[in-house]
Amino acid sequence: MYIKKIYIKNIQFSLIAILIIANFILIKNIINSNNIINPNEINVSFIDVGQGDSILIQVNNKVMLIDSGPKSEKERLVKYLDTLNLQTIDYVIATHPHEDHIGNMAYIINKYKVEEFYSPKASSNTSAFENMIESLSRKNLKINILKAGVSSINLGSNTTVEVLAPNLTNYENLNNYSPIIRVTYGKISFLFTGDAESDLEEEVINKSYKLKSDILKVGHHGSSTSTSKEFLNKIDPNIAIISVGEDNTYGHPTKETLNTLSNIKVYRTDINGTIVISSNGESIDTSFK
């Protein structure tokens, strides 16, 4: 009888241990599924995808992905996104149909539940663009045209999303279809510029939009054709992020652009890796992964 009681107690302890472990795993999964450690912060990851762009915004239990980097860097993108245990991406934005920005869009669309997809009205005959369109079709996702004034992107409380460009319907340079997007959380603002070049920068300046932002994603990987002094003065950022490949053949970022940014704190994905900026709406924290 004594042995039987010990056996029953052992079973009880085992069941309790199993329940504790199960609850821990459940809580961990709930936290991971929310994708944000602190629900009172915005987290913006400038993912190191080599010579390309991919930016993940997490705020108010919502997720927005801007671009997906080149196909050659798929492994890096996947590795980072997998650490976040994402299931759903509320908004996916393809800034323009260049491979270094949409090279992994088909993968993103196929893997995740994408709620809404946005892109400017620009096309290309590249395989990356065609694969993206095919994946959208298979998922029955429509393309919401992204242009200045679009106000349907809702990232929740204390957060605003302003689309400042493109303002025109046709551009000779595909880079200038890039949407310029200003995201504000509390008192902290981010300006995302894709591959916008000086022509588009001038267009936005002439529209008299509010450009002042704390963090700037530098246009076109630090090319000399972007980030004019006038544009930078309007933004007046504290931090500039350059998404660029190590030892790339384009010479990005150029000395000219780095000189223009000389009075601003600059972080680069080729040097710092993935750059994560977090904010509670008042202050800014920067980390690297």
pLDDT tens-digit map of 121-143: 999 999 999 999 999 999 999 99
d(CA 217, CA 67): 13
The model's pLDDT over 151-188, given as tens digits with 9 standing for 90+, comes to 999 999 999 999 999 999 999 999 999 999 999 999 99
The string of pLDDT tens digits covering residues 223-255 is: 999 999 999 999 999 999 999 999 999 999 999
The H or E element containing residue 264 is: none
Q: Residue 272: pLDDT above 80?
A: yes
Place of tokens 């993968």: 107
Distant-in-sequence, close-in-space partners of 289: CB < 8 Å, separation ≥ 6: 45, 80, 273, 274, 276
Determine the Cα–Cα distance for residues 286 and 141; give it in Å rounded to an integer: 35
Sheet holding 88-93, edge to edge: 143-145, 113-119, 88-93, 62-66, 55-59, 42-46, 275-279, 284-288
CATH code: domain 38-288 is 3.60.15.10
- CA pseudo-torsion sign 75, 81, 82, 83: positive
* Buried/exposed 67-86: b ≥16 CB within 10 Å, e otherwise: bbbbbbbeebbeebbeebeb
Token code pair at residue 253: 């970022």
Is the pLDDT at 30 greater than 50? The verdict is no
**Three-class SS of residue 97?**
coil
- Domain-wise residue ranges, the chain: 1-34, 38-288
Q: Please state, for a pLDDT cut of 70, what percent of the chain lies above it.
A: 87
Do 289 and 267 touch, CB atoms closer than 8 A?
no
Pick the closest to residue 164 from 175, 154, 178 (CA basis). 178
Using pLDDT thresholds of 50, 70 and 90, give the confidence band for residue 21.
low
Mean pLDDT of the region 16-32: 50
What is the per-residue pLDDT for 50?
98
pLDDT of residue 38: 86
281: left (phi over 0), alpha (psi -120 to 50) or beta: left
Band (1; pLDDT cuts 50, 70, 90): low
Q: How far apart are CA 89 and CA 282, in angstroms?
A: 26
Place of tokens 């065609």: 130
Q: Give SS3 for 88.
A: strand
Q: Provide the pLDDT for residue 11.
A: 61
- The DSSP letter of residue 187 is T
Report residue 162 as tokens. 């302003």
What pLDDT score does 33 carry?
A: 47
Residue whose tokens read 């106000």: 151
HSE on the CB side for 225, CA within 13 Å? 13
In three-state secondary structure terms, 284 is strand
